Amino acid sequence: MHLIHPNKPVTGRWHAAVAGLLLAVFATGAQAQVKMTVEMAKKRFLPRESMLIQLKIVNFSGQTLVFGEDDHWLQFRIQTETGEEITPIADPPPVKGRFTVESSIRATKEIDIAPYYALEQAGRYTVTAKVAIRQWGKQFDTKPVKFDVTNGTVLWEQAFGLPLRKGDPPGQPRQIRRYVLQQAKRLKAMSLYARVDDGPGGKVHRVMPVCAMVSFNLPKAQVDPRGNLHVLCQSGGKEYNYSVIDPAGQLKVRRHYLITTTRPRLNFRDGEIIVVGGFKLTRPDDLPSAKKDSDGQEPITVPANSPRPIPVIKPPEPVPTPNTPRR
């Protein structure tokens, strides 16, 4: 054991120890003043499915903090259950947009990290966020959040060539694309997912949920001459969901139909894929939104029962304190 004489000068090693202790105390205090957490709306995903991460920041520091002054103030680390780190397939996701968080205010930032990580293998993973506070010259790690990647059941798939653009030479299709329909459990219910990729082993453009589905009636799908995917799926006892997805994986049309004396079905007329039969409903989540049918018929209106999208940045709201009077 080494004793330090009270009159003996403090050594450089002791200085370093004190400095390290002060840094640790500062970091602990800073983390107590600013709380940062990562949340996910769900914890089970298909391989390469859109994965929305919410970073929630609560500021108790007594200062106004500035975030987003560069594109890499927020970084993510994904690890397998054994601790192996998943290497991004592209540069880390650039999280753009400068914003401030005043003291006693909370804010939320939402990012889709799926395009940057090739999460193809089923298993359990953890995601951690590293947040830089430039004013303090410090970075802080959030607590890791667990999630699972599971394989869905393939119901249907179709490869197709993208239509030639004006000026393209005639011949073979300029690019091959593939649609895949999969079913998987989502929130304890069966859901239908669409995957758009360049074929087995190729680039994945998007994996997205289409609608809830019943187990006793498989969805019907067709690809139109422009390369759009039309899907008609029974989503309830008497209700159908009709969706149109383009080759980039964007949802272009969403409609809802009710079984009447006939069931809705896909049909081909005048070079277009349409829905015939049943009765068209109007829902708040229709795309594009329309008050009337194209034939002038006033559809039945039903109330919305699906969750609303979360804004990228929520409006600041004061954090309640013990001294805050109740309204």
User: What does the domain layout of the chain look like in residue ranges?
Assistant: 33-149, 153-164+171-301
**What's residue 24's pLDDT?**
40
Q: What is the pLDDT along the chain (327 residues), one digit of tens a residue?
A: 343 444 444 444 434 443 333 334 344 445 558 999 999 988 999 998 989 999 999 999 999 999 988 888 999 999 999 999 998 887 777 788 888 999 889 899 999 998 888 888 899 999 999 999 988 989 999 999 999 999 889 999 999 988 877 777 776 666 889 999 999 987 678 999 999 999 888 888 999 999 999 989 999 999 999 999 999 999 999 999 999 999 999 999 999 999 999 999 999 998 899 999 999 999 999 999 765 444 444 444 444 444 444 444 555 556 566 665 555
Contacts of 256 (CB under 8 A, 6+ apart): 235, 239, 240, 241, 242, 280, 281, 282, 283, 286, 302
Which CATH architecture fits 33-149?
A: Sandwich (2.60)
Q: Is the pTM of this model over 0.75?
A: no
Residue 326: what pLDDT? 54
Residue 145's contacts (CB-CB under 8 Å, 6 or more residues apart) are: 38, 39, 40, 126, 127, 128
Q: How far apart are CA 244 and CA 221, in angstroms?
A: 10
The 10 Å Cβ neighbour count of residue 23 is 11
- Please, are residues 144 and 81 in contact by the beta-carbon 8 Å criterion? no
The angle subtended at Cα 262 by Cα 259 and Cα 264, nearest 5°, is 65
Q: What is the pLDDT of residue 201?
A: 83
For tokens 């105390």, the residue is 25
Q: Are 179 and 207 in contact (CB under 8 A)?
A: no
- Answer whether the bond into residue 288 is a cis peptide, omega within 30°: yes
- Predicted pLDDT of residue 172: 65
Contact 149, 122 (CB under 8 A): yes
pLDDT of amino acid 302:
44
208 to 1, 25, 102, 274, 308: CA distances (angstroms): 63, 45, 36, 22, 16
Task: Please name the residue that has the structure tokens 């011949």.
Answer: 171
CA distance 174 to 79: 37
Per-residue pLDDT, 289: 79
